[in-house]
Amino acid sequence: MTLIPSNIISRKRIALDMDEVIADVTPKFLDYYEKDTGTPIEKEMFWGRKVYEMPGGEHIRDYLHEPGFFADLPVMENSQEVVRWLHGHYDIFVVSAAMEFRNSLPDKRDWMQKHFPFIHWKNIVFCGDKSIIQADYMIDDHVKNLIAFKGKGLLYTATHNITEDRFARVDNWLEVRTFFEKELSAKR
């Protein structure tokens, strides 16, 4: 076996969040809100907040503890194609702060297998505090995760973060692709 110094072959690493980045939680939140309060709600009505910070929606966060909640979330638009493309250029680690919700863990593992089968289980991380994560880029909807991160942080737009301006922002997966196309061409 010939040992090659890792800095020659190593690719840069992206830590990629799940909920509200590749997995779309919002439609389920809207359904629960309408079902439980009798009032239909739209995403724009809780700009700057989470749905469970809305009047009458406080209990909705409890659903996150239920088995199955995370099992059938829709995939964020264009994320599969763009993550597959990124996977050709970077080491992708999917990093979810899932540890609070013990029942979410197998559901999230299965969801990844179903929707992102090209991401190896070795590259999936479930944690709590993301400051333990070592990577070059982090794509996340939570500013607290990006603040603790030493690499380049990209804030993925979600209702609760629209007033933030401390990080480069991406509104959708096509913008993620554009961002990394620029990173790659700058490297050449």
DSSP H or E segment with residue 175: helix 173-187
Stretch that binds a copy of itself, among 19-27, 73-81, 127-135, 160-168 (CB under 8 A): 127-135
Residue 170 phi, psi (nearest 5) = -125, 130
Tokens (6 digits) for 126: 């479930």
Residue ranges in 2-31 that form contacts with a copy of itself under rule CB under 8 A: 13, 15
- Show which residues are catalytic: 17, 19
Tokens (6 digits) for 102: 């013990």
* Sole residue written with tokens 């992708």: 92
Q: Which of 21, 133, 139, 176 binds a copy of itself (CB under 8 A)?
A: 133
**Nearest by Cα to 19 from 84, 89, 73:** 73
* Residue 70 binding a copy of itself, by CB under 8 A: no
* Residue 66 binding a copy of itself, by CB under 8 A: no
Q: Which of 46, 69, 93, 167 binds a copy of itself (CB under 8 A)?
A: 93
The Cα 162–Cα 165 span in angstroms is 8
- Distances from the Cα of 115 to the Cα of 60, 106, 125, angstroms: 25, 14, 16
Q: Which of 7, 55, 121, 188 binds a copy of itself (CB under 8 A)?
A: 121
Residue ranges that bind a copy of itself, judged by CB under 8 A: 13, 15, 93, 95, 99-100, 102-103, 105-106, 109-110, 120-129, 131-135
